[in-house]
A and B are shown apart, each in its own frame.
Chain A
Amino acid sequence: MKMLINVPETVVPDALRGLAAAHPELTVDVENRVVVRRDAPVEGKVALVSGGGSGHEPLHGGFVGPGMLSAACPGEVFTSPVPDQMVRAAAAVDSGAGVLFVVKNYTGDVLNFDMAAELAEDEGVQIAKVLVNDDVAVQDSTYTAGRRGTGATLFVHKIAGAAADEGMPLDQVAAIGHRVNERARTFGVALSACSTPAKGSPTFDLPAGELELGIGIHGEPGRERRPMMTSREIADYVLDSVLTDLQPRNPVLVLVNGMGATPLIELYGFHAEVARVLGERKVTVARTLVGNYVTSLDMAGVSVTLCEIDEELLRLWDAPVRTPALRWGV
């Protein structure tokens, strides 16, 4: 597999150096792997810290900036960051109002953020945590590590980030984050496996005529494999999974998220089918985002996240944001 890299070992620091060069409004500590908004700590405001494995870009570093994350901690590719990174980030962004950790429900992320929370609290930083677990493809959470955190992470970052920006206290910002997560559901499909730089070849074998249903965001296979389907059939299947679980009565935010190697023309074509199904099912769409936001390296495929919202959450969603990957209202 050809890749636009130097050597696999330096993929993460190389990308961080590029992020720094492109975005002078961020402070990027390449050695310690922490991305911080340059004006942090912001006086009197709660700070948001998130992170996880690299390979999901623009998540997480691309969401650092006013109105969203205060800092991000990128780990190795598909590997949770280490506690030292989160402790360092928390210390850099805490104004005294406390820090919210936004953590995707993957065993490694949970363990490392929990260890970091303990260490940061020892250093006098008040920590709250929102666990994102929106993936409805994980059906039997008793016999698994529980639902994975995927696309809804973007909604939690944006909406809780806006709440912090409004000056809400830590417990309230955390409560908003929980609310977003509780009302958000995601289902993803893969048309091809991805290749990690370290391995250099696809992480699993997906024949040309088949697709994986119910994938996570780490190149892991899904819950089921089927013969290739059309965009229309995939939208029917994906939204049926999401809506069966969510059953929204209020308007929703829609995220049609590319996994990394699916072109926008296909994503928009797919979104036409998503909009059709939502119309048929009488679900009101408040806002829509189509693009590559929570990716899985060069995996081809798409995930759909719906988040049922109310007036407050919509106001926070519409609030100004200025980050490398998401910016409006400013």
Chain B
Amino acid sequence: MLDAAFFRRWMAEAAAVVTREADRLTELDSPIGDADHGNNLQRGFAAVVTALDAQDPKTPGAVLVLCGGKLISTVGGASGPLYGTLLRRTGKALGDAPEVSREDLAGALGTGVQAVSTLGGAAAGDKTMLDALLPAVEALAVSFEAARAAAEQGSRDTIPLRARKGRASYLGERSVGHEDPGAASSALLIAALADTADTATDTTAPAKDGSDV
């Protein structure tokens, strides 16, 4: 089962990986965007870590609601409302349970991803973060590692797509051949989740059959 501490570690890991990969995200955002995706997410997740230290939310849902609100207040652009809504709605869907299962998280994340789709008016194949998140949610029902692999594959699969939403859409055919930076950062967020689950398995109670917690 996953408790508030697990979710805090996930957010801290997300902050770390966004910082490590900020330059790559910004590079991806240059040919088809405006070259700031890495910096914006880095700023937002740094604020998330500070808020978690200051407020100490007690349930998984409360952790994600707090983090989502913080992203909305600090990131700006389209990423702020979209990532903020993802975490807030996922957190709300988790309710106030002190611990949740991976399956619970998969269901809640599905609600969060649906909210992102509604807010941004995008669907699968539009070359957006949804192209990483939708397959990840489905695979999370199987395992954390499957979710990581699905998100990474989904992000790579945006390369041949023509963007239909967001700023890359203005490029039309010229958006083809580039990986979507939002899908790439979504894959990082899911990778951070899988890494957090790995660590939890290593240091606490490894599942006997070697599967994910």
Contacts and interface: CB of A to CB of B under 8 A. Distances in A.
Whether chain B is bound by chain A comes out as yes
Given A75-B76, A82-B74, A220-B171, A144 B164 contact: yes
Given A79-B36, A82-B80, A111-B120, A221 B31 contact: yes
B119 A111 contact: yes
Contacts of A108: 76-81
Interface residues of A, number: 35
Interface stretch (A62-70, A197-205, A277-285): A197-205
Given A76-B40, A108-B76, A112-B80, A203 B35 contact: yes
Interface string A205-244: 0000000000010111101000000000000000000000
Nearest to A110: B78
B136 interface: no
Interface string A99-135: 0000000111001100100000000000000000000
Contact of B172 (A112, A140, A218): A140
A111 B78 contact: yes
B117 interface: no
Which of A107, A219, A220 gathers the greatest number of chain B CB atoms within 10 Å?
A107
Given A75-B76, A80-B76, A108-B78, A196 B35 contact: yes
A105 to B, nearest CB: 11
A158 interface: no
Which of B40, B74, B80, B82 gathers the greatest number of chain A CB atoms within 10 Å?
B80
Given A138-B170, A148-B170, A223-B172, A198 B26 contact: yes
B169 A144 contact: yes
A218 B34 contact: yes
Contacts of A219: 34-35
A325 to B, nearest CB: 23
B72 A203 contact: no
A107 B167 contact: yes
A148 B119 CA distance: 18
B101 interface: no
Contacts of B169: 143-145
Interface string B63-86: 000000000111111111110000
Nearest to B119: A111
Contacts of B40: 76, 79
A91 B157 CA distance: 45
Nearest to B75: A82
B121 to A, nearest CB: 8
Interface in A54-98: 75-84
B33 interface: yes
Interface in B1-59: 26, 30-36, 39-40, 43
A35 B152 CA distance: 42
Interface in A1-31: none
B107 interface: no
Contacts of B26: 198-199
B72 A83 contact: yes
Interface string B137-165: 00000000000000000000000001011
Contact of A107 (B43, B74, B75, B78): B78
A80 B44 CA distance: 14
A8 to B, nearest CB: 8
Given A112-B76, A204-B31, A77 B36 contact: yes
A221 B171 CA distance: 7
A160 to B, nearest CB: 24
A198 B166 contact: no
Nearest to B79: A108
Contacts of A53: 76-77
Which of B30, B74, B79, B170 gathers the greatest number of chain A CB atoms within 10 Å?
B170
Contact of B34 (A138, A220, A223): A220
A115 B30 contact: no
Nearest to A139: B172
Interface string B163-200: 01111011110100000000000000000000000000
A186 B136 CA distance: 41
Contacts of A220: 32-34, 167, 170-171
A196 B120 contact: no
Given A145-B169, A199-B26, A220-B170, A84 B35 contact: no
Contacts of B33: 220
Contact of B81 (A76, A115, A140): A115
Contact of A79 (B31, B77, B171, B172): B77
B166 A107 contact: yes
A84 B166 CA distance: 22
B42 to A, nearest CB: 10
Interface of A: 53, 75-84, 106-108, 111-112, 115, 137-138, 140, 143-145, 148, 196, 198-199, 203-204, 216, 218-221, 223
15 contacts: A75-B77, A76-B43, A79-B40, A82-B73, A107-B166, A115-B72, A140-B172, A143-B164, A144-B170, A198-B39, A203-B30, A216-B167, A216-B170, A221-B31, A223-B174
